[in-house]
Structure 1
Amino acid sequence: MIPILRSSAMRQLVPRANAIQTRGLLNSVLYGSEKAKKEGELEIQQYSRLIGRGKYIHGFEVHHVKPDKVEDYKKAAEEHYHGLLADPDLHVKLTGSWEVTVGQLDTFVHILEYENYGGYDRTTQAARESPKIRATEAALRPYLISRNQQLCQEFAFLPSSPPREQGGIFELRSYTLQPGSLLEWENVWRRGIEARQQFVKPVGAWFSQVGRLHEVHHLWQYPNLETRKSTRERAWQVDGWSD
């Protein structure tokens, strides 16, 4: 799943792009299977200590909005997420908010940063006890078709960047891996990122820990789609990224 994300009144609002075809060794680790449900927990415990940054947990909140309620949703979402950030008892940061403009339209992605799992527990408990936060969250629901959440950890070699103000488009690329292949993915992809950083650096890279397992995400920012195209063409000529 590759969404393209674009900025909005809240911060940056992101679009999704189409599914991509990977090449080389990466093809051997892309997978979708029910076995993930049974094998996920052991892999998470083992691999997170090896490749995870371990400092923060990021919550990926995805909202599918009724097409005729998008503008109403944006206003309600702005009030809700600004309220989360303004409450000193919640200790939560907003990595960004995006609207999908290529891919599954009328979809919004919000990435929140918590102070690891203890911080997530404290934040969610405080939010449940806050009348204001409960009210702003309730105000969102009439505009939603569905919503889901996933908790992810950053890859240690690429901590996420601070929120960015300069706009442009954002591309969120997501992959489902074979159970047990996360270390292999991290090793191959890290070499590719090191080769590609002369052209563009990701905003962040994460792997899932709670929710849908065996998924990895990376987020890129470009001024426009033409720059994205030329950047990717140059990167494919570099050893490491094209391997």
Structure 2
Amino acid sequence: MAARVLRARGAAWAGGLLQRAAPCSLLPRLRTWTSSSNRSREDSWLKSLFVRKVDPRKDAHSNLLAKKETSNLYKLQFHNVKPECLEAYNKICQEVLPKIHEDKHYPCTLVGTWNTWYGEQDQAVHLWRYEGGYPALTEVMNKLRENKEFLEFRKARSDMLLSRKNQLLLEFSFWNEPVPRSGPNIYELRSYQLRPGTMIEWGNYWARAIRFRQDGNEAVGGFFSQIGQLYMVHHLWAYRDLQTREDIRNAAWHKHGWEELVYYTVPLIQEMESRIMIPLKTSPLQ
């Protein structure tokens, strides 16, 4: 209270001094300058509350966050299938996709293939890994254009789909590389749309957070987008069933440090989505 009174008196004294010292013609300009200066300070203070400052980076996200020892590239596909065609779609996928996966002439691996159980209905999700990065992806695409069985599969598939989209991803350096696992399991794909400029921050926090989520071997893989919808992060988890998922997630809150990491990562998120998925019979991730 005393400080406010002193400031008020000081301002009044300074205002009176200005009125006595400055010519009348200058007073309107001084008042305008003082008012605009105060407004600009108030505006900058308000902006500091709502505008997130992004630190300059000296390298690309792909170099700072991805694994250095590998040059793997991942493709994540989302296919929205006509409800009446889902069974037929699954059948042709289980016939054709494993052949590409097993063919040594294709530098790619089918990591997993699923149907969405909870989330967007009548949806298929496929995750591919290309050993060798973009050159491997290009090689596979060129060879598939000459593969008659695949071309017939693609034509039949197109009649069954409502829409489809894909993304090219890199894997976070601190996550496990997805490897085949026996089942039965359900899988959760948690997708996060981050605020632009916050990917490095997210990676730094999750490099510490992942240790809280390893007890049940539930962490399958973590990825961030390179092409497609940008500033997207995908975390893939495996659980025995929905109740096990609930128990594991609740247990994390009893570990010291988990709540702090959640507190700092939530403001980085613009939007998030969870899919519970069931693997197809031919999926390497069961």
* TM-score, normalised with respect to structure 2: 0.67
Report which structure shows greater RCO (CA 8 Å, sep ≥6).
Answer: 1
Residue aligning to 2:211:
194
Answer whether contact 1:154 1:207 (CA < 8 A) is retained.
yes
The CA distance in 2 between the partners of 1:201 and 1:224, in whole Å, is: 11
Percent identity reads: 36
Does 2:233 match 1:203?
A: no
Counterpart for residue 155 of structure 2: 138
Matched, 1:122 2:139: yes
Indicate the residue corresponding to 1:72 in structure 2: 88
Q: 2:75 corresponds to which residue?
A: 59
CA contact (8 A) 1:80 1:137 kept: no
Note the aligned Cα RMSD (angstroms): 1.8
Return the match for 2:111 from 95, 104, 114.
Answer: 95
User: CA offsets per residue over residues 9-50 of structure 1, 9 Å max, x none?
Assistant: xxxxxxxxxxxxxxxxxxx9xxxxxxxxxxxxx98x711101
Equivalent residues of 1:173, 1:219 under 8 A apart: yes
CA distance in 1, matches of 2:192, 2:253: 19
Q: For residues 130 and 196 of structure 1, what CA distance do their matches in structure 2 show?
A: 42
2:232 matched residue in structure 1:
215
Deviation at 1:70, TM superposition (A): 0.9
Contact 1:192 1:242 in 2 (8 A): no
Report if aligned partners of 2:213, 2:219 keep a CA contact under 8 Å in 1. Answer: no
> Is 1:166 equivalent to 2:183 in the alignment?
yes
SS state of the match for residue 205, structure 1? Answer: strand
Q: CA deviation at 1:236?
A: 1.1
Q: Does the alignment pair 1:151 with 2:168?
A: yes
Q: More helix by proportion, 1 or 2?
A: 2
**Counterpart of 1:110 in structure 2: which amino acid?**
H
Shift of 1:159: 3.5
Secondary structure, counterpart of 1:180 in structure 2: coil
Q: For residue 76 of structure 1, report the CA deviation from its aligned partner.
A: 1.2
Relative to 1, partners in 2 of residues 1:239 and 1:199: Cα closer, same or farther, differing over 3 Å? farther
Note the residue ranges of structure 2 that are not aligned, 5 or more in a row: 1-49, 51-55, 261-286
TM-score normalised over the length of structure 1: 0.78
- Offset, 1:80: 2.4
Q: Which has the larger radius of gyration?
A: 2
Give the secondary structure class of the aligned counterpart of 2:219.
coil
Task: Answer with 166-175 or 80-89: which moved more.
Answer: 80-89
Q: Please tell me whether the aligned partners of residues 218 and 239 of structure 2 are also in contact (alpha carbons under 8 angstroms).
A: no
In the alignment, the residues of structure 2 paired with residue 91 and residue 177 of structure 1 have an alpha-carbon distance, to the nearest angstrom, of 31
